[in-house]
């Protein structure tokens, strides 16, 4: 098989280097976000078609999938740690409208805000900007996704569709409906999910089962602080429905803290985390907390 001339391969390598620079360049995304917020006379489509057409294509393709959004729950657009707005309300409203969703100013569709929304967050945190999980290469490298499926520069599929299928296959009890998704990359569809090493923290009250799944990175980059993917889901027992909420990389210390025995057992205060929203759930309700090594 002929892969191409040396000059062609050199161009591909140079293009990849440029792409890598975009991944780690927060200023690029901050500048783009400010353009999107300030140019209110232009819509999201027009701005992204100029500044990031590949991302616009991902959003447009994802928005056409009638099944995609049903896997996700709700999330607040106010960061619990500092009580500040995460994504500009006008921009988040535009994103929701592209998916034909209309929400309040404080609540959002968890899948939309935690993927495309976080790309346009100007809220800096002690862990960096919310978009860091998508614009650096740790997750794509850890799971050997050469087509950058978990990024705003995915070569196949869309960030939201790819993530939904990926974490859904890892953590959802009922995985059957994931096959309905249309805009998923081949490398995500054909990933060896059975080969992953997983752990689970389960918090259970009379109304919900909150599941935090920890997935050990199959491969670690040099100088990479994180070594696990955290996936957060809520099983609403009143509706018999499980919802994805968020996913992001974590370090060994965070993983070890989750299994500290002083936090485990019965009659523990159970609260939603990571800005998850569930209308009928009362924060601090009593329940059990169990850690599973599989």
pLDDT digits (tens, 9 = 90+) for 111-132: 999 999 999 999 988 888 999 9
Distances from the Cα of 117 to the Cαs of 86, 122, 141, 281, 283, in angstroms? 9, 10, 23, 24, 25
Residue 242 CA to residue 10 CA, distance in Å, equals 47
Range 147-158 average pLDDT: 96
The mean pLDDT value of the chain amounts to: 89
Question: CB under 8 Å to 9, separation ≥6 — which residues?
Answer: 3
Instruction: Identify the pLDDT of residue 25.
Output: 76
Q: What is the per-residue pLDDT across 199-227, written as a single tens digit (0 to 9) for each?
A: 999 999 999 999 999 999 999 876 778 99
Residue with tokens 């805009």: 183
Instruction: Identify the pLDDT of residue 41.
Output: 66
Buried/exposed code over 139-162 (b: 16+ C-beta within 10 A; e: otherwise): bbbbbebebbbbbbbbebbbbbbb
Is the pLDDT at 16 greater than 50? The verdict is no
- Of the pLDDT bands very low, low, confident and very high (cuts 50, 70, 90), residue 294 is confident
Range 103-110 average pLDDT: 85
- Of the pLDDT bands very low, low, confident and very high (cuts 50, 70, 90), residue 80 is confident
- Beta carbons of 249 and 138 less than 8 angstroms apart: yes
Question: CB under 8 Å to 290, separation ≥6 — which residues?
Answer: 201, 202, 204, 264
Range 33-56 average pLDDT: 86
Cβ atoms within 10 A of the Cβ of 195, count? 7
Range 258-269 average pLDDT: 95
Is the pLDDT at 6 greater than 60? The verdict is no
Buried/exposed code over 88-98 (b: 16+ C-beta within 10 A; e: otherwise): beebbbbbbeb
Q: H helices of the chain, where?
A: 6-23, 26-38, 44-51, 53-63, 89-98, 110-112, 118-119, 132-135, 138-142, 159-171, 186-189, 252-258
Instruction: Identify the pLDDT of residue 13.
Output: 41
Question: CB under 8 Å to 268, separation ≥6 — which residues?
Answer: 203, 286, 287, 288, 289
Residue 220 CA to residue 229 CA, distance in Å, equals 12
Would the pTM of this model clear 0.75, i.e. be above it?
yes
Is the pLDDT at 180 greater than 90? The verdict is yes
Instruction: Identify the pLDDT of residue 42.
Output: 66
Comparing CA positions, the residue from 137, 284, 153, 285 lying closest to residue 217 is 137
Is the pLDDT at 259 greater than 80? The verdict is yes
Range 174-182 average pLDDT: 96
129 pairs with which residues across the strands? 124
């Amino acid at each position: 098989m002929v892969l191409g001339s040396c000059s062609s391969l050199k161009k591909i390598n140079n293009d990849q280097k440029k792409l890598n620079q975009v991944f780690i360049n927060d200023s690029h995304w901050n500048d783009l976000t400010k353009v999107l917020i300030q140019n209110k006379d232009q819509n999201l489509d027009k701005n992204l078609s100029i500044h990031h057409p590949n991302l616009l294509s991902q959003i447009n393709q994802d928005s056409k999938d009638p099944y995609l959004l049903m896997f996700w729950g709700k999330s607040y657009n106010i960061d619990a740690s500092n009580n500040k707005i995460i994504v500009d309300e006008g921009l988040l409203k535009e994103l929701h409208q592209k998916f034909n969703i209309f929400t309040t100013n404080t609540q959002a569709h968890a899948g939309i805000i935690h993927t495309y929304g976080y790309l346009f967050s100007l809220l800096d945190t002690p862990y960096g900007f919310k978009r860091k999980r998508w614009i650096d290469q740790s997750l794509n490298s850890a799971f050997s996704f050469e087509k950058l499926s978990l990024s705003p520069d995915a070569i196949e599929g869309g960030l939201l569709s790819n993530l939904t299928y990926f974490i859904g296959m890892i953590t959802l009890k009922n995985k059957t409906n994931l096959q309905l998704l249309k805009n998923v990359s081949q490398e995500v569809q054909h990933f060896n999910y059975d080969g992953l090493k997983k752990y689970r923290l389960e918090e259970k009250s009379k109304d919900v089962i909150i599941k935090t799944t920890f997935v050990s990175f199959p491969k670690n980059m040099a100088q990479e602080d994180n070594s696990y993917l955290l996936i957060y889901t809520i099983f609403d027992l009143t509706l018999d429905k499980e919802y994805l909420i968020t996913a992001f990389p974590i370090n060994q210390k965070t993983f070890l803290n989750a299994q500290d025995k002083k936090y485990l057992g019965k009659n523990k205060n159970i609260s939603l985390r990571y800005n998850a929203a569930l209308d009928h759930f009362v924060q601090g309700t009593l329940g059990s907390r169990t850690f599973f090594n599989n």
